[in-house]
Structure 1
Amino acid sequence: MTLMKNLMGAAATLALTAGLASAEPAIIYDLGGKFDKSFNEAAFNGAEKWAKETGGTYKELEMQNEAQREQALRSLAEEGANPIVTTGFGMSDPIAAVAADFPDTKFVTIDGWVDPAAHPNVLTIGFSEHEGSYLVGMMAAMASKTGTVSFIGGMDIPLIRNFACGYAQGAKAVKPDVTFISSMTGTTPAAWNDPVKGAELAKAQKAQGSDVIFAAAGGTGVGVLQAAADEGILSVGVDSNQNYLFPGKVLTSMLKRVDVAVYNSMKAGDALDTTTQTLDLKADGVGYAMDDNNAALVTPEMKAAVDAAADKIKSGELVVHDYRTDNMCPAAEF
């Protein structure tokens, strides 16, 4: 049976499935929706993989506004969910406020940060987005005919600037004189779900000469990819493999294995190790997508160059600067 629950008067849905003897895990999707074809959908895919492999059930919640975050966590913890997996940096403070009240419940923040010393029952999982972005930046510069590539982010935060910085570094590594353009959609969580604004920004960047646009903007990015396809230029997807959305128009997608983070967390259950994790290129936490939808766009020379760079990053020979270490980017100004 599925129990429909309203949180704080909003139309959030909490799917509670038939219980097992052990506690059910739960997942809370960030604003932008479960089926954003990007970050949240990757998380959903990880939960579904766990459910199909184990026959288990899980609880899930799609938030409609910021005010629901803390109540959602408390409601799930009171229902006995364990672990409770969350996506997006916006869950960090709510988890920090709730975790101490439920010491026997494990919480997971993907893309957030909670002090492990203060909250030993919280697992923080991050990614080396800059490493994967470096690879697609190389590919974008090699594919560009105009010598200008660009980036469209969602909410303007250091995490998203890290995508942009890695992308710019990769582009300039193969074409030092490449022109790089960057735009952010907004400064509030609404920036994750504004495909119309994403399309407007994409058209503006094309007008400035860009012919390859990398979108790291959640649901907003779908508007970017659509506009790029309509305008006859290439795009780069993010988080999930988005090549299929516009076959032959999406150069590649920067993969961020949120699905792996969710799957592993649910598989561990209440025995989850809460030691902080960073999933980098070496751990296959990030990468780029190749399939039939983009095979004709990526030449053997492009793939060889990108794979060689990936090997150097994995070995430590090549270090991609992480914007979050100093809020600076050696390849571009924001």
Structure 2
Amino acid sequence: MALIHSRRTLAPAALLSVAGLLALTACGGNSSAQDGASGSGALKVGVLFPGSLSDGGFMESAYRGYQRAAKEHAGKVTFRKVEQVQAADYEQALVRFATSSDLVISMGGQTDAAVRKVAARFPKVKFAEIGGPADGKPTANLALYDPQQAEAAYLSGAAAALLSKKKTVGFVGGAELPAIVNAAKEFERGAKAVVPDVEVLTPQYVGDFNDAAKAKQSALADYSAGADVLGQILNLGQKGVVQAAAGKGGTLIGGPIPADCGTQKAYAAYVETDIGAEIEYATDQLVKGSWQPEAVHFGLTFEDPQNNIHLCGEADPSIAKKLDEVKAGIESGKVKTR
């Protein structure tokens, strides 16, 4: 199927993870000691993962890139990470990294305010935020990397509308952050671009990317309101949507991590987005000495496309063809998502 494109092979999860950064652990985060090189000559990179590294979503996708970067730059770069940090502790985690790192990477738009504040305090340290507001502006030492969740949501909306037998679809987001709200709008745009008279229900925002119980409630509400296919941007919460789909006979569009279709009957398709490619990009630029406080948009228009849509089961060939046309429109710039 033309919808599948080649991917880089993922490195095995072989990085050492032990107790470290004890002050962060006391604040509710799980931390690791050094990954990769050690020694005074090595560049140092610290990464804040607010969520779980095994969430099946944004954080895990990013962590896979972290692993690839550590393997690629072994002997040159020392990596440190902290995961599952409470919002109240973002700033403290970033400050601790900033005092001992050449580059600090912050994952997710929920960290936007904290990373901007800390970057201003440490003007000689390089910072990168991945997944912040799509219209955010870089600062003198803060780069912004956009994984184009809006683009992925547009693809998801198009797939949902084409696959819906009831011509009614919905979207469930983890939190009402600017990037997620924008993605919900693009989901609707994608749906109506291919099926103009499809009904798109008002977006549901769970309030927590990892709360499966609340995500299930939101999904049940949409299925009860007539939707038979849902799009989503959730992490662990995605499991709740799967449960709701199984109970109501509905389906969902999965992602961002690729999966084998058929492992869960609830998945009609999934959008693949390689969040970790942005950690690799930042590290590559640091090692080359070419890092810039720039705004970089990844996705289908990037030199190595980072978004894709995969259909599950025996979908109508005309649906695959139409989704290829949607992708081509984004790649060419004819379709713009922001």
Q: TM-score, normalised by structure 1?
A: 0.84
The 1:133/1:96 distance shift into structure 2, 3 A limit, reads closer
The correspondence for 1:47, drawn from 30, 48, 66, is: 66
Alpha-carbon displacement from aligned partner over 1:140-185 (angstroms, at most 9, x marks no partner): 1121111111111111123112222112122222222211113333
Partner of residue 91 from structure 1, selected from 96, 111, 114: 111
Mapped partners of 2:262, 2:33: distance in 1: 31
Which residue, 90, 95, 105 being the options, matches 1:74?
Answer: 95
CA distance in 2 between partners of 1:143 and 1:115 (Å): 37
Q: Which of 126, 150, 153 is matched with 1:106 structurally?
A: 126
Partner of 1:330: none
CA distance in 2, matches of 1:132, 1:62: 25
Shift, 1:214, TM fit: 0.8
Identity rate of aligned residues, in percent? 25
Structure 2 distance, partners of 1:37, 1:269, is 28
Displacement of 1:257? 2.6
Deviations 1:186-211 (A, max 9, x none): 45xxx222100111111221111111
1:245, CA displacement in angstroms? 8.5
Match of 1:200 among 209, 217, 228: 217
Structure 1 letter corresponding to 2:69: W
Moved more, 250-259 or 44-53: 250-259
Kindly tell me: are residues 104 and 295 of structure 1, through their superposed partners in 2, closer, same or farther at Cα, counting changes over 3 Å?
Answer: same
What is the correspondence of 1:38-187 to structure 2 with a 5 Å cutoff? 38-55=57-74, 57-78=78-99, 80-112=100-132, 115-116=137-138, 119-187=139-207
Alignment partner for residue 253 of structure 2, among 236, 249, 258? 236
- TM-aligned CA distance change 1:288 to 1:299, over 3 Å: farther
Matched with 2:30 is 13
Q: How far 1:7 sits from its partner (Å)?
A: 2.5
Displacement of 1:26 in angstroms is 1.7
Q: Provide the C-alpha distance between the structure 1 equivalents of 2:214 and 2:49, rounded to a whole number of angstroms.
A: 22
Superposition deviation, residue 29 in structure 1: 0.6
Structure 1 spans left out of the alignment, 5+ residues? 323-334
1:215-260 CA-partner distances (Å, limit 9, x unpaired)? 1123222311232134332111233225569434312222333111
Instruction: Find the aligned partners of 2:185 and 2:88 in 1 and give their Cα distance.
Output: 31
Distance 1:71 1:318 in 2: 40
Tell me which moved more, 38-47 or 310-319.
310-319
Following superposition, the deviation at residue 316 of structure 1 comes to 2.5
Contact 2:168 2:200 (8 Å CA) reproduced: yes
- How far residue 70 of structure 1 moved from its aligned partner, in angstroms, is 1.1
Distance 2:261 2:313 in 1: 13
How much has 1:265 moved relative to structure 2? 1.1
For residues 62 and 282 of structure 1, the distance between their equivalents in structure 2, rounded to whole angstroms, comes to: 30
Unaligned runs of 5+ in 2: 1-15
Taking a change above 3 Å as real, the CA distance of residues 126 and 288 of structure 1, as seen in their structure-2 partners, is same
2:43 match: secondary structure: coil
Mapped to 2, the partners of 1:295 and 1:182 lie a distance apart of 26
Pairing 1:227–2:244 present: yes
**Cα deviation code 1:41-73 (max 9, x no counterpart):** 111011011122333541010143112111111
Query: How far apart, CA to CA, are the structure 1 residues paired with 2:336 and 2:94?
Result: 37
Call closer, same or farther: CA 1:313–1:64 in 2, change over 3 Å: closer
For the residue of structure 1 that corresponds to 2:169, the secondary structure is: strand
1:97 positional shift:
2.0
CA distance in 2, matches of 1:81, 1:204: 46
Amino acid at match of 1:141: A
Letter in 2 for 1:47: Y
